[in-house]
């Protein structure tokens, strides 16, 4: 069991296990800190800077990024100082400049007191540059199908050479973590497409479910499950089963229910 660390957040005494971040400690104490690039299933990267807090006590006084700052005994944290609010408002205004109609961003901005932006670019982009899609694809799936290109306000996420990706395995994890729907996955008949910004970045033929025969998963995806989840355990993936059939797992033989757990816990 990890040691408990004692700190103060906005004047409130908080206890958190050693190794947790200030953001996690605040959130378990019911204190809201805005975040954009944070996702509980991914390693924090600290890139959006919305979750900044002011610290003192156990650390040199200053601004820290709460999603990567570990708790320390005696740490004093403030989450809503004038300086922090000003910084966050600027970040949100810059993001809104490119995504002025993005509902998720507008909701977060409103919560931080921002209703409009001085930096409108005329763009209407749903990608808010949180980078979760790049990280899940790289760190959890190991496919490296998405990457950042360009700098400053030209920075964007795309595939290698902005072409149909040869590395994408069609798992749809990027679409799953995307908070705004800027990346979408669409299955029609026996074809799966992954889109970003209206452009198809990957296209697959779906393999049929071994139980019901419905096309449901790309071959590359099933191969990845075989490699990542089955092989290390000395198991062999023989038949692939779709999520609907998995829900009926109580009527299935044990080997199939085992597959269901593996398939949806690749990351
Ligand atoms: Fe911490 Fe983005 S949530 S930097």
Atom of ligand 1 nearest to the CA of 68: 1
Give residue 251's pLDDT. Answer: 53
Mean pLDDT of 235-243: 81
E strands, 21-129, are 52-56, 62-65, 75-78
Q: Can you read off the two tokens belonging to residue 43?
A: 């390693």
- Span from the CA of 189 to the centroid of ligand 1 (angstroms): 39
CB 241 within 8 A of CB 259: yes
Mean pLDDT of 238-243: 83
Ligand 1 pocket: which of 40, 42, 49 to mutate (most atoms <8 Å of CB)?
Answer: 49
Where are the CATH 3.10.20.740 domain residues in the chain?
Answer: 4-80
- Span from the CA of 46 to the centroid of ligand 1 (angstroms): 4
Q: 203 pLDDT exceeds 80? A: yes
CB 5 within 8 A of CB 29: no
What mean pLDDT is reported for the chain?
Answer: 90
Q: Please state, for a pLDDT cut of 90, what percent of the chain lies above it.
A: 75
- Span from the CA of 41 to the centroid of ligand 1 (angstroms): 14
- Span from the CA of 50 to the centroid of ligand 1 (angstroms): 5
What's the pTM value of the predicted model, to 2 decimals?
A: 0.86
Q: Which of 148, 96, 103 is nearest to 122 (CA)?
A: 96
Residue carrying structure tokens 């025969």 = 213
Atom of ligand 1 nearest to the CA of 45: 4
Considering only CA atoms, which residue is closest to atom 4 of ligand 1?
A: 46
Ligand 1 pocket: which of 67, 94, 95, 131 to mutate (most atoms <8 Å of CB)?
Answer: 67
Within 6 A (CB) of ligand 1 lie 35-38, 46-51, 65, 67
CATH 3.40.50.1820 fits 4-80, yes or no: no
Mean pLDDT of 214-240: 87
For residue range 18-33, list pLDDT tens digits in order.
999 999 999 999 999 9
Query: C-alpha 25: how far from its chain's center?
Result: 20
- Span from the CA of 130 to the centroid of ligand 1 (angstroms): 9
The band of 212, judged by pLDDT with boundaries at 50, 70 and 90, is very high
**How far is CA 108 from each of CA 24, 33, 35, 102, 128, rounded to the nearest angstrom?**
19, 11, 9, 10, 12
- Span from the CA of 244 to the centroid of ligand 1 (angstroms): 36
């Amino acid at each position: 069991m990890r040691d408990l660390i004692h700190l103060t957040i906005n004047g409130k005494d908080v206890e958190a296990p050693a190794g947790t971040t200030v953001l996690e400690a605040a959130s378990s104490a019911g204190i809201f800190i805005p975040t954009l690039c944070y996702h509980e299933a991914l390693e924090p990267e600290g890139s959006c800077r919305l979750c900044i807090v002011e610290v003192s006590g156990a650390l040199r006084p200053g601004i820290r990024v709460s999603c990567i700052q570990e708790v320390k005994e005696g740490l004093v944290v403030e989450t809503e100082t004038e300086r922090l609010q000003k910084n966050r408002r600027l970040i949100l205004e810059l993001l809104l400049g490119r995504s002025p109609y993005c509902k998720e961003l507008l909701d977060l901005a409103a919560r931080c007191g921002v209703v409009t932006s001085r930096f409108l670019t005329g763009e209407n982009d749903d990608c808010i540059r949180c980078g979760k899609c790049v990280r899940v694809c790289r760190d959890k799936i190991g496919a490296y199908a998405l990457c950042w290109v360009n700098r400053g306000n030209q920075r964007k996420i795309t595939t290698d050479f902005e072409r149909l990706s040869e590395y994408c395995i069609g798992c749809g994890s990027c679409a799953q973590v995307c908070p705004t729907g800027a990346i979408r996955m669409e299955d029609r008949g026996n074809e799966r497409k992954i889109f970003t910004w209206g452009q198809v970045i990957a296209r697959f033929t779906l393999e049929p479910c071994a139980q019901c025969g419905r096309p449901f998963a790309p071959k590359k995806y099933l191969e990845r499950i075989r490699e990542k989840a089955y092989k290390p355990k000395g198991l062999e993936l023989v038949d692939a089963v779709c999520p609907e059939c998995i829900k009926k797992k109580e009527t299935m033989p044990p080997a199939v229910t085992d597959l269901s757990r593996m398939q949806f816990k690749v990351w």
